[in-house]
Chains A and B, each alone.
Chain A
Amino acid sequence: MGLAQPFQPGEALPISLDPSNLAGYALRTTLRMAAAMLASLVFTFAYASWAARSERAAQVLIPLLDVLQSVPILGFLSITVVGFIKLFPGSLLGPECAAIFAIFTSQAWNMTFSFYSSLRMIPKDLYQAAEVFQLSAWQRFWKLEVPYAVPGLIWNAMMSVAGGWFFVVAAEAISVEGYIIQLPGIGSYIALAIQQRDLTAIGWAIFAMLLVILATDQLMFRPLTVWAERFKFEFTEAQGEPRSWFLAVLRRAQLAMLLTRLSAKAWDVSSRLLQHLPARPAVRLRWRFARRGVRLMDRLWTPLLIVAAGTSIVVLARFVQAEVSYAEIGHVFLLSLWTGLRVMVLIALASVIWVPIGIWIGLRPKFAQRAQPVVIFLAAFPANLLFPLAVTAIIQYHLNPEIWLSPLMILGTQWYILFNIIGAAAALPSDLREVAANLGLSRWLLWRRLLLPTIFPAYVTGGLTASGGAWNASVVAEVVSWGSTTLTATGIGSYIAAQTVAGDHPRIALGVAVMSLYVIVLNRSVWERLYNFARQRFVFT
């Protein structure tokens, strides 16, 4: 089955629940993920480099990235899929690209942020060394900028892939204007199993997914992390570095030698060809010159941006207003409030559970070392595969879906809280623990004066990630079906999901815009403040 196979909208693609097909489906799902990752990487290099090199560009690009990060991806999938189908008429390439694009939008932003902040943190003296020794822009990019960013980039790529599995599963079965496109893959397999109420098939899918995640961890991320150790910008040798059996095998293999030689050749040729690429170091580095008078463009830039932002808001509003009444807009705001309430309650609940457990694990180094990969693994596992199990339980025990569907939103993202807390607790300096013991601090005092302040910054980071993820997941978690039964919880997620099925673009736009607005406001007013507070008060320097 080629990617470019002929395809007409409305045509059903054959999916079979036979477990023997799962290997093929898993491969195709993984390939989609790989394509999206590649696209994210290219996007990251281009977008972040641009933003880091031009102050004026950064003024637009960085806030834009912030907004993009808060937009619920699954909400506008049905809009993009129409576009892609039109781009490749009569070919499966359209829906494939739409799925890959959906995964891309779940992966790219945090990687871009990471690369951007790395670029701005590169030590000045290294940049100056690159300049004194006259490295070309191309050489500087690959010898200085990318290596410096590698550890952060790999970590974020890992997080992105972990989040991406969730969306790949959701994006393979896309409903567009009344009909459903099912691309061959694990996501479509699950969707069909749900339709046919086949619990065994769901079990097989979960098993296949476990294997896929295990394989990507062992064959890709573990070797990458070990390899990235050398790019860490530190001048002391670390203790207990991670290991990878696969990298060890690769390093011994003949193939690796050949690849090294080939890449060296490619590097020589590319440096020669691209020697005269215009050079411009990252913004922070350029020296400030005494400049008399402000240039015209500098003065016009900010008003120009305000006008552009205003215009786009008006255009969007008119698009929505043509179809939707004010009363409904108000209703959508109310729906978002419900979802927001769910998210906050769930974050609070998850914190109460995972903070003590995370600290307990983090303080026991042996345990923490073993627990961390497990938690990353749990975070990577697409929680939507487990939804059918939850639904059968809700139906079985006649539970209230308004309440019991809510935990599904945080099923996949709660692990970020646990993970960050384990990391922070494990990093607690041992002398502080010894002082606490020496002073005979009571358990309450120990928590209040030492443990909670220590983990607080990491908790905020984890909470922010978990809350963003939960908002995004609401689109699939507030409406869940099992065969012909559909359970719905009132909220903005189920609103967007319903409009997506109906193919009502103005309402989808409204839902997406309102949810994004909530997420941005919540991030700015709560999480960002907590973050700044944490950084000021509790970070060891």
Chain B
Amino acid sequence: MANKTDSEFLLELHNVGKTFAATETNAITVLQHISLQIRPGEIVALVGRSGCGKSTLMRIVCGLTKASSGQVLYRGHKVTKPESGISLVFQTFALFPWLNVLQNVELGLEAQGVSREERRKRALVAIDMIGLDGFESAYPKELSGGMRQRVGFARALVVNPDLLLMDEAFSALDVPTSETLRNDLLDLWLERRIPTRAIVMVSHNIEEALLMADRIIVLDSNPGRIKAEVPVTMKHPRDRDSHAFRQAVDQVYSAMTAVSRATPMMRALGIGHRLPDTGIQQMLGVLDALNQPQAGGSVELSALAHELHLEVDDLFPLLEALEMLDFAHTADRRVELSSHGKGFVEADIQRRKMVFGEHLLHRVPLAAHIRRVLDERANARAPRSRFLRELEDFLTEDEAERVLDVIIDWGRYAEVFTFDTHADRFSLENPGEERVEEAKR
């Protein structure tokens, strides 16, 4: 295939942006000014924290959703609907449970109107190639997670896509399974046994991205923007214990933390701030690790992630929460325990709650706001919907719900307010005391 498109880009993104309507007047920008070119022959990985819009970007590229601004060009023409040259592998596999392996793999061919005999032949070749032979008549529920995702790959590859998109394709699998599947795919790619000319993957696992990609694009969040690009020149197979690999890992981490310095997160930016989805036990776990004698209050991010088995999606929200609450500070790929953080982690259970409560009311405007409203009201109660409405001026509906859930969790732990799920309202009543009163009566 020596036509002239060979020398051009396979895929081009020009200034792509995506905005969702939150309310009638407010819009939320998820993606902004994304410009990117994919050349034939390369694997590109997009990494970023949750909320950076990488999955949305993936869906724009494969024509499932429209960009609000800018354009996506595939082989020089505008992508407005799903293209037969672009295949997607889903994080959740997205297999049809009532179709067996063969029927699932044939699906895309059937949609293209390929004849029964032809699609049977091609599907069997794909099944063979991906290592599923023998399982043709099995149903997805009879397969392990790894085998299911192989079906996902076979289904995506059987239509001979130019461009293969992988949306966190390995993240639902356990570590050894994802390793095997990744290596098998890499072999197919390196030995050119598949006609695919480029792969774009979204990942929240930095090592995974470094094991596969030729280029890593680091995305910033709120709104999603391209923050940095890290080229990877190591030869395959890559050794994750090699010095060069460790250096590359640190390089990506520092690109990601550089992002966090650009958007100030010392203090939450107001009540509409997107609070990170982090539990108190997780925070304590990290602080505990920092407070270990051998750590001495400061640890490299890559080491911390490795030790606590944290992926980017968990790690960065955690760091943000600790930063917001002034318990730890992240700078240049190191995280450092603050004096408050040390006090917090070394306190006993009751004292911890007090420390946490003080920091919460001081440093998280939404918590302070809820507490103030409750203090002002005679009965010290306020419905959840009141705060939800306020948050929806800044956040999408789902996001507002999520943020409110986070603040409920934190507030309950700190006992700065309580929340009654059945009545759907916040209050200052101490639920423990009330029950005792009730029992006395």
Identify the A interface with B (CB < 8 A).
123, 125-126, 128-129, 131-136, 139, 143-144, 147, 150, 230-237, 264, 268, 271-272, 275, 287-291, 294, 536-537
Chain A residues with CB below 8 A from B406, complex form: none
A136–B111 alpha-carbon span in the complex (Å): 7
Cβ of B110 and Cβ of A536 under 8 Å apart?
no
Closest 9 CB pairs of A and B: A133-B108, A125-B94, A129-B94, A290-B21, A147-B98, A290-B19, A135-B111, A231-B98, A134-B111
A131-B82, A133-B155, A287-B65 known; A126+B112 contact, CB < 8 A: no
Cβ of A132 and Cβ of B422 under 8 Å apart?
no
In the assembled complex, B92 has its CB within 8 A of some CB on chain A: yes
Chain B residues with CB below 8 A from A147, complex form: 96, 98
Cβ of B140 and Cβ of A139 under 8 Å apart?
no
CB of A333, distance to nearest CB on chain B (Å): 36
Identify the B interface with A (CB < 8 A).
19-21, 24, 27, 59, 62-66, 68, 82, 84, 86-88, 90, 92, 94, 96-99, 107-108, 110-113, 116, 139-142, 155, 159, 422
Additional A-B contact list (12), CB under 8 Å, known A125-B90, A289-B68: A126-B96, A128-B94, A131-B64, A132-B63, A133-B82, A134-B82, A143-B99, A234-B141, A271-B110, A288-B20, A289-B66, A290-B27
Nearest chain B residue, comparing its CB with the CB of A135:
B111
Cβ of B65 and Cβ of A291 under 8 Å apart?
no
Chain A residues with CB below 8 A from B97, complex form: 230-235
CB of B345, distance to nearest CB on chain A (Å): 32
Contact of B422 among A134, A236, A271, A536 (CB under 8 A): A536
Identify which of A131, A133, A231, A275 gathers the most chain B CB atoms within 10 Å of its CB: A133
Pull 16 A–B residue pairs with CB atoms less than 8 Å apart, ordered by A: A123-B92, A128-B59, A128-B90, A128-B94, A129-B155, A132-B64, A132-B86, A133-B82, A133-B87, A139-B110, A237-B142, A271-B110, A289-B21, A289-B68, A290-B19, A294-B24
A268-B116, A289-B21, A290-B21 known; A133+B142 contact, CB < 8 A: no
CB of A288, distance to nearest CB on chain B (Å): 6
Cβ of B94 and Cβ of A126 under 8 Å apart?
yes
CB of A274, distance to nearest CB on chain B (Å): 12
Contact of B108 among A134, A136, A236 (CB under 8 A): A134
Nearest chain A residue, comparing its CB with the CB of B141:
A235
Chain B residues with CB below 8 A from A264, complex form: 116
Cβ of B113 and Cβ of A275 under 8 Å apart?
yes
A325–B434 alpha-carbon span in the complex (Å): 57
Chain A residues with CB below 8 A from B88, complex form: 128-129, 132
Nearest chain A residue, comparing its CB with the CB of B91:
A125
Cβ of B141 and Cβ of A237 under 8 Å apart?
yes
Contact of B82 among A123, A132, A144, A236 (CB under 8 A): A132
Chain A residues with CB below 8 A from B142, complex form: 237
Cβ of A129 and Cβ of B21 under 8 Å apart?
no
CB of B90, distance to nearest CB on chain A (Å): 5
Nearest chain B residue, comparing its CB with the CB of A146:
B98
A128-B59, A128-B94, A143-B99 known; A537+B422 contact, CB < 8 A: yes
Cβ of B92 and Cβ of A125 under 8 Å apart?
yes
Cβ of B113 and Cβ of A143 under 8 Å apart?
no
A295–B63 alpha-carbon span in the complex (Å): 25
Chain A residues with CB below 8 A from B139, complex form: 230
Chain A residues with CB below 8 A from B21, complex form: 288-291
Cβ of B96 and Cβ of A143 under 8 Å apart?
yes
Nearest chain B residue, comparing its CB with the CB of A148:
B98
CB of B1, distance to nearest CB on chain A (Å): 22
A318–B21 alpha-carbon span in the complex (Å): 46
A275–B114 alpha-carbon span in the complex (Å): 13
Cβ of B141 and Cβ of A236 under 8 Å apart?
yes
A289–B62 alpha-carbon span in the complex (Å): 17
CB of A150, distance to nearest CB on chain B (Å): 8
Chain B residues with CB below 8 A from A289, complex form: 20-21, 66, 68
CB of A239, distance to nearest CB on chain B (Å): 13
A150–B98 alpha-carbon span in the complex (Å): 10
A230–B98 alpha-carbon span in the complex (Å): 5
CB of B287, distance to nearest CB on chain A (Å): 31
Chain B residues with CB below 8 A from A135, complex form: 107, 110-111
A351–B66 alpha-carbon span in the complex (Å): 54
Cβ of B111 and Cβ of A133 under 8 Å apart?
yes
Chain B residues with CB below 8 A from A144, complex form: 96
CB of A160, distance to nearest CB on chain B (Å): 23
